[in-house]
Structures are given as structure tokens and as C-alpha cells.
């Protein structure tokens, strides 16, 4: 069902490209109503336009807060053309139908990105615009609503194809997009208020997102996927792709995991991620050594993974990296020599993370019609809460080594066990239902690739040991310091096993599940 357009209302903050639309409106003799800056722009471009205050015979008031909020405007938008009662009421009031609304909102999100002036921010919360958009979208059977400059071409094509009318299918599509915009806009405002007034868990929670890209596919080839940005203060991820094909769903998943781990490093560090788990991680004053140690932690699992470094990759480091097949390399910077070497790798993706910043204080996990929200796990342990529960006590260096191991542990899928030596992982046991199996895998990995480093190594567990069997496996392998939360009813048995094996054990009281 096509709907002839006789009257259009245009109200824009962003007036660029509107001349294209005005030309086609003039072609089909469509009357234009507008206000404020948009009215002036339309007149300046040489097109006829009726100012809203003249159309409604009601002057703008309250510094422009009230201009389109008028019965003549909203009756013209909301009236059902096929409803005889509506037609009689419109005729009695001598109101005209408004068949096309072209609106974009006050730039609230851009305003909060530019200023902290509270009054200015509040004045950039649009009221009239979203009200008109919602009204037009609700009455899509009769009214066309355009909220995005990207749709100007579609509108022009639609009007030309239908000789000044629009099809129902077009109006349905635009209405759906319009409601998406009002929801997004209100969500941005709501989230800004929550942030401003430190409301972490509001009674109603909205999560907004702006589409960045359609991905090649999802976690598997038969799944579709897109990536959205959820950021009040930026529309960029802060990830600058220097080279390579578009990132996939799995690439992004691994990249985000690696960025979380990197953010916890206070020294030069590297981490290699495979399927959202680290296969190796290391901090070292020597950047190249940190990469090398990360790689030899598990060179088989590292194959095809994501390498993330919190330093500049130079030519020497690039040569080391180029010896192995990796999917993605992230670094603070790539020098010219490194780009020449890594640039020759056909499918390798290079990403500059120098402008990436962690901004969110919470995490969200969604399942079907519900989602979980929690604040981020930023604590490793609190030093005042540490308990040295064995006869032998750790040295300061051993405590720092244990801290490193536990920090990596909290990013590994539970149940997790990390074995480390000299601030580098040598064995990672991830994602096992049984903690003793995680211990077995971590020991097996260390024995396979770096057996000599098992002697006097440090082990970390994300949660308590329910039985001493896992601890016995670690002790037998050569671990000399174990850090764990404690809290099991069998803690005494674990302590007894540690004392018997002449191992130092630390209780943190802090669990680090990661599911």
C-alpha cells in the first residue's frame, strides 16, 4: 500500500546532505514544515518552507524546549487516515496530515564527549525529536520516518519509484530503524545518568550498541555475527588495524581476552591467546624475552593464536614472531623494520593498541532472555589478608612470583591451575570440571616443554583444593610454592601434605573463578 506524501516535517541537528532530499520534495510538490536552524538552512538553500511557529500559530517558548510539542503537529503525525472518526476530528480542527518526518536528534553523545558542563549536557537531551520519531514510527501505516542520513538515498529512490509516495514495506523498515534509534538514544542518556550518579546496578538496565561491522561469520561458519560498540564517550574501539583481513568473531574474542591480561601487567609483557585462554604469558624487562617465554610455555597451542604485547615490536622481535604461524599480533607500536618483516605474512593481522583504553567497570554475560552483570575482577589478593600456613614461609620474591601466577590464573577458564617460574608460565591447566585434572594438565604441559623449570616453580589455583590429591601432584612435579584461596573443610589435609613435601603454601582468601 503506497502512501502519497503531501506534507513533510524536517527537524535536524545534522543538516548535511539534506539538499538532496529537498530537491526531490520540490519535484513532487511536497510542502515542508520546519523550525529554528533547519528552517534557516532550507530557506538559505532556496527552497520554500513554513516555519513551525507560523504553522501552529504558537511561538516557540522556554528557549526552544517547546516548539514541535503541539497538537497540530502530533495530530498530523498520529491520525489514522483510514479512521473516519480521526478524519472528522482533523477536519473539525482544520489540521493537515503530516506524511513524512525527517529528524535527527540533539547530539547528546557528542556533547558528553566534548564537555563536562552539566547544564550544557542536560540541554542536549532531545525531547521533541524522539517524541515525533516515536509518533511517526507508531503510525507507519500512513507516515514515513527518516532518522539516518544513510537512508536519504533510499527515500529519494522510493519517492521517484512511487511518484511522490512510499510503500508500506519501506515505511515498516524505517519505523523499525526509528524505534531502534530512540531506544539507543534513551539508553545512552540513561547510562550517562547512572554513571554520573554512580548507580551501578539500577532497577532497569539497558545496554546500547552501535554496529561497527558485520563479521565474516560467528564462532562457527554456519553462524552469523556482528560487532557493536557500547561506549558513551567514543565510537571507536581504539584498535587500529594496520594490516590484514577483517577480524572474525573468534579473533575478537581472543583479542579482548589478551587485552584484559595485558592491562594487568606493570612491566613489559606478552601473552599468547588460543580459544580465549592464555597458552603462555610472561613479564620481563626484556621485551623479546617476554615473547620468547610466552611462546615456549606451550608452542603447540600457540600455533594460530593471538600474540599481544604491551611494548613496541621492533625488527628483532618481529623476526622471532615470524618464525611461527600466528593469526593476530597486537602491540603498542610496530616500527618500520618489523612492518617490513611481518607485512610479508599473507594472512597475518597487525593491530596497534596504543590508543586502546579499558573503560568499563562491569562485565555482562547473556543467556537467552536474561543476562548477568557483575563488576570486574580487579583484585589479585590483599596483602594484609595473606596467610602463610606452612612451616616454611615464602620469600618476598616468591610472593611476587605467586602474585604473577595467580594474576594469570584469574584469566584462565575454571577450574584453572597455573605453574610459573621466574614470572613466566610453564604449565597451564584450564577449564576442567576436576581441579586434580587441571593440575595434571598443567604438570603435563610443563614436563613436555620445560621440564627443568618445574624445579622450584610456583603454582596458583583459582579456588581451594577440595582434596590434597592435586597438591600432591604439584609437589611431586617439583613445585615449591603454592598459592590458593583456602577455605576447604580439608584445608588441614592440604597443609599437612605441603609440610610433608617441604612446600610453602599461601592462603589468599580470594577466589578467582572465570566461567
Residues catalogued as catalytic = 138, 275
How would you label 462-495 residue by residue, b for 16+ Cβ within 10 Å and e otherwise? bbbbbebbbbbbbbebbbbbbbbbbebeebebbb
Cell of 196: 554520573
- By DSSP bridging, strand 240-243 and strand 349-352 are antiparallel
Local structure of residue 267 (DSSP, 8 states)? S
Cell of 387: 596467610
> What secondary structure, in 3-state letters, does 212-259 show?
EEECCCCCCCCCCCEEEECCCCCCCCCCEEEECCCCCHHHHHHHHHHH
Q: Which residues pair with 101 in a beta bridge?
A: 9, 145
Cell of 444: 603435563
The C-alpha angle with vertex 363 and arms to 361 and 369, in degrees rounded to 5, equals 140
Burial class (CB within 10 angstroms; exposed 0-12, middle 13-18, buried 19+) of 384: exposed
Q: Which residues pair with 461 in a beta bridge?
A: 417
Burial class (CB within 10 angstroms; exposed 0-12, middle 13-18, buried 19+) of 204: exposed
Helix residue ranges per DSSP H, 371-489? 396-409, 435-449, 469-477
Helix residue ranges per DSSP H, 162-200? 168-196
Give the Cα separation of 311 and 332 in Å (integer): 5
**Alpha-carbon torsion, ordered 325, 330, 334, 340, to 10 deg:** 20
Burial class (CB within 10 angstroms; exposed 0-12, middle 13-18, buried 19+) of 333: middle
Which are the contacts of 303, defined by CB distance < 8 A and separation ≥ 6?
324, 325
Three-class SS state of 315: helix
Amino acid at each position: 500500500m503506497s502512501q502519497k506524501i503531501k506534507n513533510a516535517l524536517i527537524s535536524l541537528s545534522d543538516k548535511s546532505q539534506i539538499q538532496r532530499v529537498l530537491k526531490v520534495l520540490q519535484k513532487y510538490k511536497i510542502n515542508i514544515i520546519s523550525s529554528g536552524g533547519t528552517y534557516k538552512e532550507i530557506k538559505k538553500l532556496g527552497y520554500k518552507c513554513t516555519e513551525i511557529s507560523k504553522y501552529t500559530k504558537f511561538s516557540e517558548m522556554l528557549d526552544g524546549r517547546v516548539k514541535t510539542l503541539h497538537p497540530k503537529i502530533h495530530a498530523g503525525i498520529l491520525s489514522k487516515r483510514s479512521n473516519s472518526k480521526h478524519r472528522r476530528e482533523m477536519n473539525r480542527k482544520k489540521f493537515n496530515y503530516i506524511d513524512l518526518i525527517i529528524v535527527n536528534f540533539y547530539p547528546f553523545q557528542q556533547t558528553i564527549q566534548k564537555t563536562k558542563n552539566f547544564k550544557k549536557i542536560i540541554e542536549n537531551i532531545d525531547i521533541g525529536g524522539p517524541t515525533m520519531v516515536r509518533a511517526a514510527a507508531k503510525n507507519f501505516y500512513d507516515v514515513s520516518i527518516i532518522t539516518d542520513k544513510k537512508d536519504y538515498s533510499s527515500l529519494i529512490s522510493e519517492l521517484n519509484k512511487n511518484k511522490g509516495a512510499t510503500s508500506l514495506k519501506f515505511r515498516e523498515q524505517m519505523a523499525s530503524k526509528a524505534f531502534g534509534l530512540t531506544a539507543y538514544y534513551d539508553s545512552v542518556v540513561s547510562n550517562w545518568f547512572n554513571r554520573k550518579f554512580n548507580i551501578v546496578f539500577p532497577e532497569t538496565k539497558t545496554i546500547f550498541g552501535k554496529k561497527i561491522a558485520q563479521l565474516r561469520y560467528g564462532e562457527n561458519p554456519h553462524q552469523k555475527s556482528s560487532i557493536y560498540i557500547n561506549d558513551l564517550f567514543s565510537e571507536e574501539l581504539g584498535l587500529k588495524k594496520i594490516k590484514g583481513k577483517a577480524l572474525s568473531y573468534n579473533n575478537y574474542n581472543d583479542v579482548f581476552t589478551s587485552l584484559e591480561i595485558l592491562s594487568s601487567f606493570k612491566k613489559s609483557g606478552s601473552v599468547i591467546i588460543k580459544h580465549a585462554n592464555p597458552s603462555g604469558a610472561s613479564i620481563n624487562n626484556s621485551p623479546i624475552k617476554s615473547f620468547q617465554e610466552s611462546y615456549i610455555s606451550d608452542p603447540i597451542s600457540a600455533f594460530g593464536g593471538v600474540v599481544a604485547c604491551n611494548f613496541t615490536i621492533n625488527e628483532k622481535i618481529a623476526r622471532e614472531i615470524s618464525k611461527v604461524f600466528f593469526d593476530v599480533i597486537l602491540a603498542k607500536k610496530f616500527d618500520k623494520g618489523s612492518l617490513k618483516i611481518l607485512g610479508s605474512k599473507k594472512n597475518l593481522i597487525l593491530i596497534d593498541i596504543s590508543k586502546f583504553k579499558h573503560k568499563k567497570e562491569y562485565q555482562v554475560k547473556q543467556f537467552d532472555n536474561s543476562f548477568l552483570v557483575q563488576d570486574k575482577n580487579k583484585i589479585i589478593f590483599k596483602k594484609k589478608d595473606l596467610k602463610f600456613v606452612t612451616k616454611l614461609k615464602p620469600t618476598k620474591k616468591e610472593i611476587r612470583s605467586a602474585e604473577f601466577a595467580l594474576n594469570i590464573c584469574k584469566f584462565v577458564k575454571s577450574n584453572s591451575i597455573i605453574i610459573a617460574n621466574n614470572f613466566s608460565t610453564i604449565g597451564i591447566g584450564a577449564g576442567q570440571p576436576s581441579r586434580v585434572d587441571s593440575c595434571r594438565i598443567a604438570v603435563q604441559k610443563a614436563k613436555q616443554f620445560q621440564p627443568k623449570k618445574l624445579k622450584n616453580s610456583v603454582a596458583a589455583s583459582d579456588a581451594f583444593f577440595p582434596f590434597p590429591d592435586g597438591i600432591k601432584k604439584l609437589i611431586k612435579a617439583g613445585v615449591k610454592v603454592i598459592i590458593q584461596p583456602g577455605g576447604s573443610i580439608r584445608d588441614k589435609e592440604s597443609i599437612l601434605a605441603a609440610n610433608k613435601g617441604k612446600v610453602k603454601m599461601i592462603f589468599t582468601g580470594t577466589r578467582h573463578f572465570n566461567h
